[in-house]
Homo-oligomer: A and B are copies of this chain.
Amino acid sequence: MSRDSSKTVEEKLPDKKTNTSEWYSRVLQEAGIVDIRYGVKGFIVYMPYGMSIMKRIIQLYEEELEKTGHRPILFPVVIPEANLRKEAEHIKGFEAEVFWITHAGLTKLEERLALRPTSETAIYPLYSLWISSYKDLPLKAYQTVAVYRYETKATRPLIRGREFLWIETHDVFRTAEEALRQTVEDKDIFHRVTYEVLGIPFLHVMRMDFDKFPGAEHTYAFDTLLPDGRVLQIGTTHYLGQKFSRVFEIKFHDIDGSYSYGEQTCFGIGLSRILASLILVHGDNYGLVLPPRVAPIQIVIIPIPKTGFSRERLENYIEEVRSLLEGAGYRVYADLSEKTPGEKFYHYDLLGIPIRIEIGPREVEQNKVSVFRRDKREREIVDLGRLREYIAYLMEDIPETLKRRAREEMEKNIATVGSIDELMELRGSYSLFKTDFCDSEECAEELKTTTGGYEVRGRFLDEKPGEGARCIVCGGEARSRVLVAKAY
């Protein structure tokens, strides 16, 4: 709960740039985002403030999915072991990570049940019952759920957990062309929320064949850059082709009377990681900086009382301002508690409230308010008559500022390199490298070993290696222009 923050009002947060990890832990706990003290490794608790933000993030993506014809579904958390084993590559990819339910009450179950690590093998047997004709297509559906993976790497709150939240879509089409078009629509959906509303920039790449989703034909991924210079995968879209539809018998009577197998895509929106990115990308040494659309409180009003000035008059004026802004549709909170203005400033800065309005005797007497915007930490005195208009402007300008700042930060970290030596020279100044690559898994592994952890994250879709370009590792013919970075 945000209340906890009162205990640490005097302890400043560590510097975000130089001490990102401690800054992150402190903000998660003190702003009331998540609590990591649940006692089961990799499982965290969403606290009220964090969950209020998360629910708004979920709503944004769900609205975009509904607009593009996706409908909600909800499948069980348990998957029978036999289902999970049906697609060979898929089970191979997930086998080591599955939590198994073996008993219920005092009974041993006849068949083990997996906690869903992802839902293809839960959903597709039913799709095979729901789809029988081309008239049933396209089928576009999504569910917002937690998934479970027994991660053996070090866990980090919201970034790598054994339980995490995501939205998964599962779409079926008549033709490969439509399915491939869906992977582009998925990217657009992701862009409209992740970048346009939340201000989190990302790079869009196609994962290398050796790194794709178990069972997919292709995997497209969205990687964002975190302040420590590492990239984080925050979403993926998979073109499954007919790999699952053949296994799970998703077939339909086609227009020409023949039977065909459905062409499938699925799309994972990594909600927990998106919340982590939101915090890490926009935050500063005062705490969170929230885009207005996901801020539980968008405007906080703080009285600056003065001895000798009527408290009643001050509070009446505050109520006038509050009700004006609430009437305009904003989420407004006037904090009339007994804490000092300084304590309140500290607290709402930490919570990342986009706009703070300060009202003291001078504001009351002059019919003005003092407006502080959290993103730029700038203050402006505004006439009450002009307040609605000014707030409307800030509600547009704050997300624009966050977006621009974050995109510039990401872009200035990109360098194009022609050799491993060049990469090693530039790694102090850049985090993201574009280079040419031969597509082999061996070269990717060698690159990672030689450079102390730089990974081939995938090929850019809109860039190709130049004529005669050579692989940065083996010097063989380059087949792709790839993204190379350290990753979570």
From B43, B51, B76, B95, contact of A43 by CB (8 A): B76
* Contact of A12 with B by CB under 8 A: no
A257 within 8 A of B: no
- Residues 115-159 of chain A: 1 if any B CB is under 8 Å from the residue's CB, otherwise 0? 100000010011001100001100101010010101010000000
A83–B37 alpha-carbon span in the complex (Å)? 14
The answer to whether A78 and B163 touch across the interface, beta carbons within 8 angstroms, is: yes
CB-CB under 8 A from A115, the residues of chain B are: 77, 101
User: Closest Cβ of chain B: how far from A376's Cβ, in Å?
Assistant: 29
B107 engages A150 (CB within 8 Å): yes
Contacts of A42-69 to chain B: CB distance below 8 A = 43-49, 51-52, 54-55
Task: Say yes or no for A102: interface residue by CB 8 A criterion.
Answer: yes
> Are A150 and B76 in contact, CB atoms less than 8 angstroms apart?
no
A35 close to B (CB within 8 Å): yes
User: Would you give the shortest CB distance from A98 to chain B, in whole angstroms?
Assistant: 6
Within the complex, the shortest CB–CB distance from A115 to chain B, in Å, comes to 7
Residue of B with least CB distance to A113: B40
Contact of A75 with B by CB under 8 A: yes
Cα A99 to Cα B103 with chains together (Å): 6
* Segment 249-307 of A: residues with Cβ below 8 Å from B: none
State whether B52 touches A1 (Cβ < 8 A). Answer: no
* Contact A73 B45, beta carbon cutoff 8 Å: yes
Residue of B37, B39, B51, B105 near A73 (CB, 8 A) is B51
Interface centre among A38, A74, A97, A150 (most CB of B within 10 A): A74
Verify if A424 is at the interface (C-beta below 8 Å from B). Answer: no
A130, B35: Cα distance in complex, Å: 10
- A118 → chain B closest CB, angstroms: 15
Q: Mark A92-112, 1 if CB is under 8 A from B, else 0.
A: 000111111111111100000
Q: Distance (Å) between the CB of A213 and the closest chain B CB? A: 19
* Complex interface residues of chain A between 68 and 96 (CB less than 8 A to chain B): 71-78, 80, 83, 95-96
* Inter-chain contact B40/A78, CB cutoff 8 Å: yes
Q: Is the CB–CB distance between A48 and B76 below 8 Å? A: no
Q: Is A3 an interface residue (CB 8 A)?
A: yes
> In the complex the two chains form, is A71's CB within 8 Å of B48's CB?
yes
Q: How many residues of A contact B (CB 8 A)?
A: 60
Contact B102 A37, beta carbon cutoff 8 Å: no
Q: Which of B51, B95, B122, B130 contacts A71 (CB 8 A)?
A: B51
B105 touches A37 (CB 8 A): no
Whether B136 contacts A1 by the Cβ 8 Å rule is: yes
Cβ distance A326 to chain B, nearest Cβ, rounded Å: 14
CB distance from A469 to the nearest CB of B (A): 41
Q: Decide if B150 touches A104 in the complex (CB within 8 Å).
A: yes
Nearest CB in chain B: distance from A38 CB, A = 6
Q: Are B101 and A105 in contact (CB under 8 A)?
A: no
Known: A35-B126, A126-B35, A139-B1. A40 touches B104 (CB 8 A): no
B residues in contact with A165, CB < 8 Å: 74
Please determine whether B37 and A129 come into contact, CB atoms closer than 8 angstroms: yes
Name the residue of chain B whose CB is nearest to the CB of A2.
B71
Chain A to chain B contacts (Cβ below 8 Å), 24 pairs: A1-B139, A4-B130, A35-B129, A38-B126, A40-B76, A43-B78, A45-B73, A45-B74, A45-B76, A46-B73, A48-B72, A51-B71, A51-B72, A51-B73, A54-B74, A74-B165, A77-B146, A95-B105, A98-B104, A99-B103, A99-B113, A100-B102, A101-B102, A105-B152
A residues with CB within 8 A of B:
1, 3-4, 35, 37-40, 43-49, 51-52, 54-55, 71-78, 80, 83, 95-107, 113, 115, 122, 125-126, 129-130, 135-136, 139, 141, 143, 146, 148, 150, 152, 163, 165
In the A-B complex, the 8 residue pairs with the closest CB atoms: A48-B71, A104-B150, A46-B74, A43-B76, A51-B72, A96-B105, A100-B103, A102-B102
